[in-house]
Structure formats: C-alpha cells, structure tokens
Amino acid sequence: MQLAQKFNIDLMGQRRFSNNESVRILMDPNKADAVLAQLEHHNLKHQVLVDDLAPLVKAQHEENLRSKARFQLPYIEAIGGFYTHAEINAYLDSLPERYPFRAFVKNFGRSFEGRTIKVLTITNGDGHPNKPIILIDAAMHAREWIAPSMALYIIEQLLDHYEDNHELLNEYDWFIIPVVNVDGYEYTHTAERYWRKTRRPTTDPECIGTDLNRNFGYEWGLDEGSSDDPCEDIYRGEYAFDQPEAQMLRDVMLHYSGRLTWYLSLHSYGNYILLPWGHTKELPEGYDDMFYVADAGAMAIVQATNGIYTYGSAYHVLYATSGDSTDYAVGVANVSAAMTLELPAGGFVGFDPWVSQIEGILTETWIGVHAMALEVIRRY
C-alpha cells in the first residue's frame, strides 16, 4: 500500500478476492523502472503483463466510435457501443416524447462539475399512483462502462419490448439512473480510461476523487472496507455524503423510501450478486428473502447460459465494504431488498470489454435481472 501511495499507481481489482494475494497494478510508464526496482528490493514476485495499454485503449476507442457512428442521436442502441454522459442524457430526454404515457425524466441533482444527473421513471401507463418502486443505478465507479450499458438495455427491454415484459410493470414502477458518477465517467471517456473515483478535489492536492460506494452515511468511516487516505481507490471522503452524487442518490432513496422495494446497483466485474451487509459478518433482517431473489437470478442464468454467479452477503463472498449504497438502502432508507450486481469481465483488465463483447454480457445479465424482478414482484 505504501508503494501505491508513493508512486501514485492504480491497484486494479484491489482486495477483490480475500484468498488471492496477487494484485494487478497500473502505473505511469515513466515510473515503471522505479516501481520495479522497489518490487525487487522487497523481494516481491512480479510479472509485467503488458508494457503499454495505450494502443489497446486507442483501438477500443476507435472501435467504439465506428460502432456508434451507425446511430443518429438521440437514438442509441445499448449493444451498439459505449456512450458518453451527454449522449445518454440526450437519449433519456427523447423517451417521454416517444413513450408519452410510460416514460418520465426528472433532473435530480448536479455533479461536482455541474453535470445534470437524470432519473428515468418507467410505468405501464395505467395512471395508478404510488406503486412500489424498483430502483436501478449504474456507474458508481467511473471505469465500469458495461454498467451504464446494462441500465440502457433494461430501459430498452421495458420500453421498446414492453409486450414481452409487461408483467414487470403491472404492479411496479421502475426508476433508472444510468450514470451516477457522471464526472468520473466523462473523465474516463476523455482523459483516463481506468479512472474509478469522482473528480472532486480532496485534502491532498496530488490525489483527486472519492469512492462513491464508500461515501454513504450508514456505518461510514470503518477502516475495514474503506480508507481515510485520499490516494486510495477506496477513499471514503472527509465525511459521509460529502459528494453531491452520493447526496443525489440518497435523496432519491429517502424521497421514495415508502415505496422503494428493490434497489439494484450495477457494477463490474466478477459474476457476483452481493447482498447486505458489507460492513459486518452479521446478516440483516430480511436476508433470507433477499437471498431467494438473488438465487432466482443466478439459477436463471446458469440454466440459460451456464454462467456461474456467486451470491450472498458482500462481507462473506467478496470483501468488506463500509459506507456503501446497498447497506444504506436497507439500513436507513428501509428498502426491502438491496443488492449489487457485478457483471461479467471483459477486455484485458476486466473493466474494459470490447464493443463486440457487449451483447453477450447484456443478454446474459438481463436473464438474471428479469428473473430477480419477477421474484421481487412475487415475494414482496
């Protein structure tokens, strides 16, 4: 950890597996010799996997631009490419005109850099108020581009393919936030592909950004599962909800807490369905029902594609987290079921699938989301 701080290197997949001591690091090539010398000095086994990721990032960028060029904004297709925040917002704004009785867009906040964060509401158009709500968000971590793609795919299934999925909207309304960490997400499109955190400055001028999924005000500040070091990828912020993007999601949860039944946060990567709690080995009230929801999704996927998902409390099946959004949803906002879905890996690092991989990841994941939604509707 001291090495990461000294040379400002990125720990890719840090603490992802509790039984795996290996870590992949991403570093400035100008610092590579110094880092390798330190690894040698401390007798740490290491292997250079790739000398320069820039050609790969460039090739993926060019593939993405070619694929997106087939579409004329505001029309987009989830499997057709990775879209910028502005492109996604333009698409969201077009939906109420295309689906005037079923799609509604609300501006629910602004990011640190002033970007608008939009919430899309999808209904079946029957006009019945105060239905229970399914809330889905994505891109809490900026580099996880496949997560907004999944949010867009869910939107397409509920709107463009309503007849095939109408049972998901008979009793529930869906609220979808395709991009939460909008500044960080935009930064990955324009400057640094593997950036994770927000873009708000910290107390350390050398280290920008906070991990949004450690910034929520339930069991915030625990050293197991977060860090008080601004240079770490799991930096929790100076205090709970000091990030406007986390405030926005908090406000959505609290505003609709009486109706909010299922909260699903889309992340990548790793084939996990993670339930509360993240901050302790103890299990929350209602855990069994949440477990059966996750089980429905995992079983549907394995039966359809042979894809294997691990599911259970985040603390037990992955690693400890504190101040995360799913713990807050259950612990404060009184959400009946909350979980994080870690989508499959793609590309070289895992966070960077090629456009050609999007369709396979999204169609498999939708099988699980659809099955979990049906179980939520049945169970709650």
pLDDT in tens, 253-272: 999 999 999 999 999 999 99
List phi, psi (to 5°) of 350: 115, -35
Are residues 160 and 88 part of one domain?
Answer: yes
Are residues 147 and 7 part of one domain?
Answer: no
C-alpha dihedral sign at 309, 313, 316, 322: positive
Are residues 149 and 41 part of one domain?
Answer: no
Predicted confidence at residue 55, as pLDDT, reads: 86
CB-based burial, 232-270: b 16+ in 10 Å, e otherwise = bbbbbbeebbbbbbbbbbbebbeebeebbbbbbbbbbbb
Predicted confidence at residue 3, as pLDDT, reads: 45
Are residues 104 and 8 part of one domain?
Answer: no
Are residues 60 and 29 part of one domain?
Answer: no
pLDDT in tens, 214-249: 999 999 999 999 999 999 999 999 999 999 999 999
Are residues 356 and 263 part of one domain?
Answer: yes
Q: How far apart are CA 141 and CA 184, in angstroms?
A: 8
Predicted confidence at residue 200, as pLDDT, reads: 98
Are residues 243 and 161 part of one domain?
Answer: yes
Torsion of CA 145, 86, 339, 172, to 10 degrees: -140
Report the DSSP beta bridge partners of residue 174.
122, 134
Are residues 93 and 28 part of one domain?
Answer: no
CATH number of the domain to which 136 belongs = 3.40.630.10
Are residues 44 and 129 part of one domain?
Answer: no
Indicate the pLDDT class of residue 349, thresholds 50, 70 and 90. confident
Predicted confidence at residue 15, as pLDDT, reads: 40
Mean pLDDT of the chain: 91
- Could you tell me where the DSSP H helices lie in the chain? 2-7, 32-41, 54-68, 85-98, 146-159, 162-165, 182-190, 244-255, 287-305, 314-317, 325-331, 355-379
Are residues 46 and 78 part of one domain?
Answer: no
Q: Number of folded domains in the chain?
A: 2
Q: How far apart are CA 242 and CA 308, in angstroms?
A: 37
Whole-model pTM? 0.92
Torsion of CA 260, 139, 147, 216, to 10 degrees: -40
Tell me which residue range forms the domain holding 30: 2-52
Q: pLDDT at residue 6 above 90?
A: no
Interhelix angle 182-190/85-98, nearest 10 degrees: 120
Known catalytic residues are 342
Are residues 104 and 45 part of one domain?
Answer: no
pLDDT in tens, 286-336: 999 999 999 999 999 999 999 999 999 999 999 999 999 999 999 999 999
Are residues 148 and 11 part of one domain?
Answer: no
